[in-house]
A = this chain, B = another copy of it.
Amino acid sequence: MLNFNFQNTTEIIFGKGVETQVGKKAAEYGKKVLLHYGGTSLKKFGLYDKIIKNLKDEGIEIFELGGVLPNPRLSLVKEGIKICKDNDIDFILAVGGGSAIDSAKAIGAGVKYDGDVWDFFEGKVTVSETLPLGVVLTIPAAGSEASSGTVITNEEGWYKKSFGGNVIRPKFAIMNPELTYTLPGYQTGAGAVDIMAHVLERYFTNEKHVELTDRLSEAVLKTVILNTPKALDFPEDYNARAEIMISSTIAHNNLLDMGRESDWASHGIEHELSGIYDITHGAGLAIILPAWMKYVYRSNIDRFVQFAIRVWNVDMNFNDPEAVVLEGIKRMEEFFTSIDMPTRLSQAEIDSEKFEEMAAKATEHGTLGNFVKLTKEDIVNIYRLAE
């Protein structure tokens, strides 16, 4: 087991009706709030009015910035920074999923920094201070509600990059599973894959003595596998929605990193896809994960056998462990298909034209991943396996 530090300070406020606590919680941190969100669904389902009233009841002055897109853009982040600086805003409230929260995190860091906020993403500077941030979560997927990272797309060159630090974790996350009842099936499915991917990026490690975090990881995977079909069949199944929602947080709040090196190659490979083709992140991961697994499993058969047996209930075959691994990957693909996710690039109408370009971008700072260190050529091969 590797040495580690773990601290997650985000307060999780979870359950039916908890969004009515947003005014009181926000008032603990500021009197002038930037309300940051995405599109029209917020207003359509009444949550917007509820939050506005709740904030006003606490005497909070509200500034708004909507329009966050999936794969959130740097230009909007810069707009948010300007609004905050011009109006001495002291708190940000993000309402939505990972896109709104990631955008808010970048705004919060940018407000406290005199240079270009993109410097954080390029690793030129480390984040040490930020505006406090609260979250009302409506899409369980990215785990950004309690995570230490943010991913933003720079439209100049379509670079999708991330940065992180404990200081950008939200102060609180208000999570009512009822708010996810209206999520379209596609977003429910893509969210489930994203949650699973966050676990898998950590699960596939070469560190052998990680018994507890292996089993905690399997707990999250099994919970998502069991509950996502329920949520798709019965969108108002509170308990299925609740299991998925809390899984999104646990998958990505660094609990599952304890004592192990994680991989993150699949995310890197997918980021190039969604950076260029603007495909939903979870759908992109459903395509990349099986291809990545098929490409790397021979480097650590034992770990993939454990994955197949413990997560996908494959029977052990002592004469042919490789068959066990392939059956596990096949069951994962079948699961993705069953929740209406693509597992091949062709299903997302992506051809081989930009394989070389994407692989080059993914490796411009060196190899990708830790489980197996992937070169540009490896990544082209993985894209080919995903065709």
- Chain A interface (Cβ within 8 Å of chain B)? 1-18, 177, 209, 211-212, 215-216, 218-220, 222-223, 226-227, 238-239, 242-243, 246-247, 250, 255, 258-259
Give which listed residue, B3, B6, B15, contacts A18 with CB less than 8 A. Answer: B3
In the complex, the answer to whether B13 meets A5 with C-beta atoms within 8 Å is: yes
B-side contacts of A17, CB under 8 Å: 3
Given contact pairs A1-B238, A3-B14, A209-B238, a sample of 6 additional A-B residue pairs in the complex whose CB atoms are under 8 Å apart: A1-B177, A5-B11, A6-B12, A212-B243, A215-B219, A219-B219
In the complex, the answer to whether A9 meets B7 with C-beta atoms within 8 Å is: yes
Q: List 23 interface pairs A-B (beta carbons < 8 Å), by A numbering.
A: A1-B238, A3-B14, A3-B16, A4-B12, A5-B11, A5-B13, A5-B14, A6-B12, A6-B14, A7-B12, A15-B259, A209-B238, A209-B239, A211-B223, A211-B226, A211-B239, A212-B219, A212-B243, A212-B247, A215-B219, A215-B223, A216-B216, A246-B258
In the complex, the answer to whether A8 meets B5 with C-beta atoms within 8 Å is: no
In angstroms, Cα B7 to Cα A285, docked, is 30
B-side contacts of A7, CB under 8 Å: 9-12
B-side contacts of A227, CB under 8 Å: 211
In angstroms, Cα B8 to Cα A218, docked, is 22
In angstroms, Cα B219 to Cα A223, docked, is 13
Please give me the residue from chain B that is nearest to A17 by CB atom: B3
In angstroms, Cα B250 to Cα A137, docked, is 25
A165 to chain B, nearest CB (A): 14
B-side contacts of A14, CB under 8 Å: 3-6, 258-259
B-side contacts of A12, CB under 8 Å: 4-7, 258
The listed residue with most B CB atoms (<10 A of its CB), out of A16, A18, A219, is A219
B-side contacts of A15, CB under 8 Å: 1-4, 259
Please give me the residue from chain B that is nearest to A250 by CB atom: B212
In the complex, the answer to whether B4 meets A209 with C-beta atoms within 8 Å is: no
In angstroms, Cα B7 to Cα A4, docked, is 20
B-side contacts of A220, CB under 8 Å: 212, 215-216
B-side contacts of A242, CB under 8 Å: 1, 209, 259
In the complex, the answer to whether B226 meets A222 with C-beta atoms within 8 Å is: no
In the complex, the answer to whether B239 meets A1 with C-beta atoms within 8 Å is: yes
B-side contacts of A211, CB under 8 Å: 223, 226-227, 239, 243
B-side contacts of A259, CB under 8 Å: 14-15, 242, 246
